[in-house]
Structure 1
Amino acid sequence: MIKIYFDWNVLSQIKNGKHSELKEIIFDNDKLFIPFSTSHIGDIFSSFIDTDEQKKYIKSDLDFISDITKDKCLMNTGKEVVLDFYPPEELFQQRIDEKDLFKDISLDGLMNIFEKDELTKPIGKALFGLLKSIPIEESFKQAFDNPESAKQIEQMFPGLRENPTMEGFFQSFSKMNLNLNESDGYKDLRKTVQNGTGINRDKIYNSENPYKIIDDNYKKLGVTPNEFVDNSKNAPEWFNEITNEYILLDMHGFQEDKVNIGKGRKETFKNTTEDAFHSAFASTCDFYVINDNKSFQKTKVIYEKLNINTLVLKPSEFVDYYQKYLQINDPILNFRIPFEIIKSEEYYEEVMEDAVLRTYYVPFFFFGFFNKIMVLLPNDNSNANILLSQNGPSNHKVYSMEIQRLYKELNSILGNDIDNLGEIKDEEFKQDEWIGRKWKLEEITFRLTRPNGHFQLYFDQ
């Protein structure tokens, strides 16, 4: 299946009557795999107001997501990004139930959470009593003694100077968290970072190479930007890497997001964070369709730097791409087009001991799955070995539902498989060696296999 991740902005516009061609393409198209993520829920939650009218509007948004994704949800477990089937309305209700849980992350606020459980109450009381008395690191105290840094530290950690203990640190961190995510504190923080690094916001905003500007300025300071990014284990390493790169670009001024707490939808650091998460989730899919220009530009720059092969497109660009390459109406073209491509000279060649391997990377998705052709030419001039393979997204997984649909596609053209194994069951993939499927058509045997975890279709002549 062709995996497509849509930014909420695009989905919202489709729901409200825009992008009619795109809507016609994606609705009830069984060769497309369209997930939503927890960040879509975060986007909608940012406009949450506890009124009947707003609740009704939000429910219509959640129902729309459910209809278009069939409840396929990407979730970050902390160790990996997993796919689950989850109604968006249930996830949204969880957000409502938990919205005040960590609003106060001072020691007293965290202690209140512990005190709600009789089992953790005694442990929490002893632990937090100890933490309150621990002094903060000496580097913080020295920063307050320096007039140049004292103002910036006080701005980031309000109240810490008056109470330089762990209790004071958590209290100030709680205030900073609220200031960033509920107010316009991110605007000041971003300005502080740009001034401190000597970066001209107007110069970097539309730069063709923002990373060079950032790296050059940090070299002058004798440090690297990586010293200030989040390396916590709250997500897979690749997920954190994309998220950090996104926030780094925005914080230093490249296509920086608007911060607005006035009328209408509140735009704070929380929105930038969700956009960063979208870019990470989207790297599990073949296409990321997005209409917000700032996020579009940041994501393209990040994917290029990190060699992520997810294609980032605007809605109209995706429509053009689909009509040109993905809309294969005649099933037999899934066989004909690869042989036409093999005649071309556009391939990557690898000379091996007994053969030459030619690899063709194509914009097509044959049978809604394969986008790579490999041809092995033996040195003894015997028949070439041809197979279709997948050049999948950098952080993707292949799900059983994709292979089950692929089987149905092949079965509709080639008929029943030779061994009459029939439709593919989920249980088959739990074994180390997958049995696969075979078909025979005239002089060619087609084998759907999974060597080394990669699904491939061999043409045996």
Structure 2
Amino acid sequence: MKDKIKIYLDWNVIADFLDGNFKWLEDILFCNCENISIPFSAEHVDEATNIKLSNDHDTKSEIDRRLNYLSRISSNLYFVNDMIDTGYRIETPVSIFQTLNDVPLRIDINKLFSSFIDYDTLRNGRKKLELNQNTLNNIKPENAIPKINEIITSKKEIQEHIKNQNLDISFMGILKKALKISEESHSNTTYNDIISKKTTYQLNNLVVISFSLLDTFGFWSDKKSTYIRGSRFPDSRHAFNAIFMDVLISNDKRFCMKAEAVYKYLNLGPEVCFLKEDESRIRELLNTET
């Protein structure tokens, strides 16, 4: 029996379905349950419930509507990522929401980290490194990290500054340093070990940090309003979840381009489709006729 095609939908696609948009894709997904599975994640639940309307009654009604729809489109297939292992189990979005709310003094991590580096400071840093956003955004995703690497390692001022400090300022060098900081106990594990063993915690860090670095250097980076909200953090976690799927569909081109750049660089991940432009390709991947 052929395995089902696993589809990972970015939350914005589900939000579009709720608004009555992209009916053609919604119909494909609901009519091909025998061949397609659409797991949901804790990130989906978090975004579905991150809403505040004019009163509590309306807020609860909208959250219920979103969670019920998420339940229907996923058939309650929950993608588990507990930072030790990954897998699937049958669970309702409502129960996951309750579990998330049971965490005492739950902190908005996205908001907490979003202001660590001021947006204007970040832009000034890119200018000093001569990382031109318009130039970077015209690069194919598979060439994005090599190009950024070429730019930052060729700066004479940087080379002069670090020549006696034994620092690796390549993209992979910065990535390894960030990985070491994020998990000191695994600092001796090599990149190849992480990829071959797919140690979930480390692999999560590898994808999330790579995604965040791309945004930092200016490749299809977030607009100021999005940056301030910290949207790159849930985006990076969606990008990690999707590496266990066959197809990733999003209606956010910035997300798609960064995710594909990370996947190509690390030799990971699914086919990435930008919903507004890739209808024919999506139909082909899902084995449906136009």
Given the two structures, how large is their TM-score scaled by the length of structure 2?
0.74
2:39 aligned with 1:35, yes or no? yes
Contact persistence 2:113–2:230 (CA under 8 A): yes
Matches of 1:193 and 1:84, distance apart in 2: 44
What's the secondary structure of 1:288's corresponding residue?
Answer: strand
What's the secondary structure of 1:312's corresponding residue?
Answer: strand
2:144 aligned with 1:210, yes or no? yes
What's the secondary structure of 1:27's corresponding residue?
Answer: helix
Post-superposition shift, 1:328?
Answer: 7.4
Contact persistence 2:111–2:229 (CA under 8 A): no
Higher relative contact order (CA 8 A, sep 6+): 2
Structure 1 pair 328–184 and aligned structure 2 pair: CA distance change class (3 A): closer
2:126 aligned with 1:194, yes or no? yes
Amino acid of the structure 1 residue aligned with 2:119: K
1:422 aligned partner: none
Post-superposition shift, 1:206?
Answer: 3.7
Matches of 1:38 and 1:278, distance apart in 2: 10
1:285 aligned partner: 245
1:229 aligned partner: 178
Post-superposition shift, 1:17?
Answer: 0.7
What's the secondary structure of 2:83's corresponding residue?
Answer: coil
Matches of 2:35 and 2:151, distance apart in 1: 47
> Percent identity, aligned pairs only?
23
Q: Deviations over 1:399-452 (max 9, x none)?
A: xxxxxxxxxxxxxxxxxxxxxxxxxxxxxxxxxxxxxxxxxxxxxxxxxxxxxx
Q: Deviations over 1:224-258 (max 9, x none)?
A: 32255244359433322221111111111111112
Structure 1 pair 268–91 and aligned structure 2 pair: CA distance change class (3 A): farther
What's the secondary structure of 1:199's corresponding residue?
Answer: coil
Give the length in aligned residue pairs. Answer: 251
Amino acid of the structure 1 residue aligned with 2:122: R
Matches of 2:125 and 2:104, distance apart in 1: 29
Alignment of 1:74-85 (within 5 A): 74-85=79-90
Relative to its length, the structure with more strand (as a share) is 1
Matches of 2:271 and 2:122, distance apart in 1: 29
Matches of 1:245 and 1:36, distance apart in 2: 23
Post-superposition shift, 1:210?
Answer: 3.0
Post-superposition shift, 1:74?
Answer: 1.4
2:246 aligned with 1:297, yes or no? no
1:396 aligned partner: none
Post-superposition shift, 1:323?
Answer: 4.6
Matches of 2:48 and 2:128, distance apart in 1: 34
Contact persistence 1:186–1:269 (CA under 8 A): no
Matches of 1:184 and 1:93, distance apart in 2: 30
What's the secondary structure of 1:229's corresponding residue?
Answer: helix
Alignment of 1:59-458 (within 5 A): 59-98=64-103, 100-102=105-107, 180-181=113-114, 186-188=118-120, 190-191=122-123, 193-195=125-127, 197-208=129-140, 209-219=143-153, 220=155, 221-222=158-159, 223-224=169-170, 225-231=174-180, 232-233=182-183, 235-260=200-225, 268=228, 270-308=230-268, 310-315=270-275, 319-321=279-281, 323-324=283-284, 326-327=286-287
Contact persistence 1:45–1:95 (CA under 8 A): no
Amino acid of the structure 1 residue aligned with 2:204: F
Contact persistence 1:4–1:32 (CA under 8 A): yes
Contact persistence 2:77–2:89 (CA under 8 A): yes
Amino acid of the structure 1 residue aligned with 2:238: H
Q: Deviations over 1:351-393 (max 9, x none)?
A: xxxxxxxxxxxxxxxxxxxxxxxxxxxxxxxxxxxxxxxxxxx
Amino acid of the structure 2 residue aligned with 1:19: F
Structure 1 pair 90–309 and aligned structure 2 pair: CA distance change class (3 A): closer
Matches of 2:47 and 2:139, distance apart in 1: 28
Contact persistence 1:279–1:299 (CA under 8 A): yes
Q: Deviations over 1:140-181 (max 9, x none)?
A: xxxxxxxxxxxxxxxxxxxxxxxxxxxxxxxxxx9xx85534
Q: Deviations over 1:256-285 (max 9, x none)?
A: 11232xxxxx76453211111111111111
2:195 aligned partner: none
Q: Deviations over 1:298-320 (max 9, x none)?
A: 11222222223511113366653
2:25 aligned with 1:22, yes or no? yes
Post-superposition shift, 1:55?
Answer: 1.8
Post-superposition shift, 1:36?
Answer: 0.9
Give unpaired runs (5+ residues) of structure 1: 104-173, 261-265, 330-461
2:166 aligned partner: none
Post-superposition shift, 1:16?
Answer: 1.2
Structure 1 pair 328–18 and aligned structure 2 pair: CA distance change class (3 A): closer
Amino acid of the structure 2 residue aligned with 1:211: I
Structure 1 counterpart of 2:61, from 43, 56, 60: 56
Aligned-CA RMSD value: 3.1
Contact persistence 1:22–1:315 (CA under 8 A): no
Matches of 1:313 and 1:99, distance apart in 2: 37
Post-superposition shift, 1:38?
Answer: 1.3
Post-superposition shift, 1:41?
Answer: 1.9
Given the two structures, how large is their TM-score scaled by the length of structure 1?
0.48
Amino acid of the structure 1 residue aligned with 2:135: K
Q: Deviations over 1:23-76 (max 9, x none)?
A: 111115221111011111232243346722122112111111100101111122
Matches of 1:13 and 1:271, distance apart in 2: 18
1:2 aligned partner: 5
